[in-house]
Structure 1
Amino acid sequence: MAGRSDPPEGGPGGSSGAGDEEYRSIVFDDSFVSSARLQEYSAEQRLVDHTVAVRDRAPEQPLGIVRTVPKQGLALAMIILLAFAAAIYLGANNPYQSPRSLAAGRPAGSTVALVPDGEVPGDIDVELLYGTGPVREFGVGPGGLELPDPKPTTHFSREQVMTALTLAKEYLTASALNPDVLVGGSRSEVRELLGVEQQDQFDVAMDGEGGPSWATDWLVRFDQDRVEMADPHVRVDGVFTFTEATDDMLEIAGHHVFVYALRSSESMGAPASLFGVRREVRFQFGKEELRDRNVVLRQVDTLAGPMACEADPADAYAPLLAGETASQRLAGGIDPLTAEQDRPVLCAALTPGQLNVT
């Protein structure tokens, strides 16, 4: 016989309390009950209020946005906010600011024409010309532009000094040794080594539009209508020096003599003669110029001859060739193959003998 607490057919599942086993793991806590959308009134509430047994409940209004956002979301938002603030602070106080470019205007320049005393010597045999005097000890082409051992300065590393020296050599190679520049009228290789500001100055000088700088301040070139190269291999002698001018500027100076074998382009088989150009070129480099591989040309002082004093060297040099003489003679003399000398006047006499064939 079934007990008083059990139905006649026994408890669910055939034993007492078997029906509770299915829902034993389900727990209805306070948050679950309070969030229910339906509410069942008690018997007392139904008697007192004469209302239905079940009513809909309006969902509780959130106390604020913080209540609806998970704690993990708040933490992530806080991390992002702090990272953004740190990025702004470090950007405003970054000790490694982008390097400043140097102000690059036109280079200061001077050109002195060296006037020969008498007839310019020459010879058909170019090697004979080169084999006379100190020129025979000169280097040939870019190989004559020897670089010193680069050493770090206070604010520039050894690699940066090496880069500056290399760029200075590239500029002299393009501007004073390239036959396409010397007599061909090309100028792109020189221009590409300059920064944008100096490229504009360079273009003005090359186009003969006047202005404060000459074409021959930027490069060596000859009047191609009357001169051609008897030997494309220029003889070179000289040195580079480097020094740190300021904490953000490195200065490279090139002191070189270039000797060219030239002949007249107007007559076949004309004898060749030598033309000497002594140039002191100063370059400056900041860290931005080193990064972009640009040079800043600051100063170019040139002695060039044999050349007539009345010749205009602004656009191109007009050498006196083999057998020619200058109409104007000058007293005193300057030898472009010697070392340091005081800055000369606009025209000076070329010391005889050093470029002569004896």
Structure 2
Amino acid sequence: MAGRTDPPEGTPGGAPGAGDEEYQSTVFDESFVRAARLQEYSARQRLEDHTTAVRTRAPEAYSTAGRTVPKQGIALALIILMAFAAAIYLGANNPYDAARELPADPPAAVTVALAPEGEVPGAADAAALYADGPAEDYGAGAGGVDLPDPRATAHFSREQVLTALTLAKEYVVASALTPGVLAGTTTVPVRELLGAEQQRQFDGALNGQDARWGGITDWLVRFDEAEAELVDQQVRVEGDFSFSEITDDVLQVEGHHVSVYALRPAGAPAAPVALFTVQRQLRFQFGEEELRDRNVVLRQADTLAGPMDCAADPSAVFHPLLAGESATQPASEGVDPYALDGERAALCGTFAVSDLPSPAAH
């Protein structure tokens, strides 16, 4: 029998390893035994007075997947949670995001009416008036509004400068050269270029219910369709733009243009045509948000307009004096509306242009 490893009766089950083979993959290590909910008493303990041979262990601390959550893990989770909350708070209160949005106050605006020295000259058609006056070589419509060559500034790229100039041109075209805006039938082309706050101010000026917002003619050129109508839909225009960086996050564009309108009395197709001239100096500002959203912020609008009676109120519409009409109220010194570098009158001036055509015969 020496050297035999199997019992005399052979391996249980009649095959090598049979009987115990199905339990060979189960390992009862120390951690498994300690984790058992029931624990057998020792031989000495079983001699004592017990009703059962095993005892129930006290419950372990809460665990996940059989493992107790360590204190270090709880602390790390709290740190991550606090860092995440701080990131959300700082992101929602970033001062740099707020600084990029420009304050949208109403534009500072001055309108000076220019009264004629005598009767307003007129002609049978607009072409004759253009040929005899300073507007002969002016451009027509949007094509007459030229842009300077854009270049990068210290904090704005060339593309951003081009966007600002393009938006300024769109505003000039919408507010002074668009027939529907001039006739008072729409304001959408102008309004949609403004940000939300200035849109509210624009609506207030249009409704005329709050003097804080000024007049609608601070924002655009407009005539009363019951008084005058456009003869030439292609308004003559001359002027230029300039741009500069006034702070590291504000780009400023200035537009200085003269627009000349051929008008006749409303509902009188046979009446002679007269010219009405408007010189506007507009100042726009742009930040990163305005350039991204393609909005303008109108800061200043200075206007010379005539021939117009100084007694007329130009806040809602301009009231041009048409061919053969004259002013009822005397003005101050003469002002040339075609001179882009000329001096401005305080409230009302005389429409003084040396080479205007003579008045038409009636």
Short-chain TM bin:
0.7 to 0.9
Once the two structures are TM-superposed, the CA of residue 10 in structure 1 deviates from its matched residue by 3.7
Where do residues 1-358 of structure 1 align in structure 2 (5 Å cutoff)? 9-14=9-14, 23-40=23-40, 46=46, 48-49=47-48, 54-58=53-57, 61-62=60-61, 68-69=68-69, 77=77, 80-81=80-81, 84=84, 87-88=87-88, 91=91, 97-209=97-209, 211-212=211-212, 213-328=214-329, 332-356=333-357
Distance 1:92 1:305 in 2: 51
**Structure 1 unaligned blocks of 5 or more:** none
Corresponding residue SS for 1:135: helix
Distance 1:340 1:140 in 2: 22
Q: Which amino acid aligns with 1:265?
A: A
Change (3 A) 1:191 1:31: same
- CA-to-aligned-CA distance 1:246-285 (integer Å, 9 cap, x gap): 2332221110000000001143311111111111111122
Q: Which moved more, 1:207-216 or 1:225-234?
A: 207-216
How high is the TM-score relative to the length of structure 2? 0.83
Distance 1:83 1:6 in 2: 66
The answer to whether the 8 A contact 1:132-1:357 is kept is no
Q: Which amino acid aligns with 2:258?
A: V
Change (3 A) 1:179 1:29: same
The answer to whether the 8 A contact 1:117-1:350 is kept is yes
Corresponding residue SS for 2:204: helix
Once the two structures are TM-superposed, the CA of residue 60 in structure 1 deviates from its matched residue by 5.1
The answer to whether the 8 A contact 1:337-1:354 is kept is no
The answer to whether the 8 A contact 2:332-2:345 is kept is no
Percent sequence identity is: 59
- CA-to-aligned-CA distance 1:119-143 (integer Å, 9 cap, x gap): 2221222222222333121111111
- CA-to-aligned-CA distance 1:39-77 (integer Å, 9 cap, x gap): 55566654x336578324325523989952389977994
Once the two structures are TM-superposed, the CA of residue 216 in structure 1 deviates from its matched residue by 1.6
Change (3 A) 1:73 1:229: same
Q: Which moved more, 1:293-302 or 1:348-357?
A: 348-357
User: Post-superposition, which runs of at least 4 consecutive aligned residues in structure 1 deviate over 6 A?
Assistant: 1-8, 15-18, 63-66, 70-76
Change (3 A) 1:68 1:117: same
Distance 2:80 2:111 in 1: 64
Q: Which moved more, 1:235-244 or 1:196-205?
A: 196-205
Q: Which amino acid aligns with 2:217?
A: T
Corresponding residue SS for 1:97: helix
Change (3 A) 1:344 1:15: closer
Once the two structures are TM-superposed, the CA of residue 94 in structure 1 deviates from its matched residue by 5.8
Once the two structures are TM-superposed, the CA of residue 34 in structure 1 deviates from its matched residue by 3.0
Corresponding residue SS for 2:324: coil
Superposition RMSD in Å: 3.6
The answer to whether the 8 A contact 1:38-1:54 is kept is no
Q: Which amino acid aligns with 1:62?
A: A
Change (3 A) 1:178 1:45: closer
Q: Which amino acid aligns with 2:158?
A: R
Corresponding residue SS for 1:131: helix
The answer to whether the 8 A contact 2:63-2:69 is kept is no
The answer to whether the 8 A contact 1:335-1:354 is kept is no
Distance 1:35 1:191 in 2: 75
Once the two structures are TM-superposed, the CA of residue 348 in structure 1 deviates from its matched residue by 1.7
Q: Which moved more, 1:28-37 or 1:255-264?
A: 28-37
What is the aligned residue count? Answer: 356
Q: Which moved more, 1:268-277 or 1:61-70?
A: 61-70
Once the two structures are TM-superposed, the CA of residue 14 in structure 1 deviates from its matched residue by 4.6
Distance 1:224 1:268 in 2: 14
Distance 1:76 1:69 in 2: 12
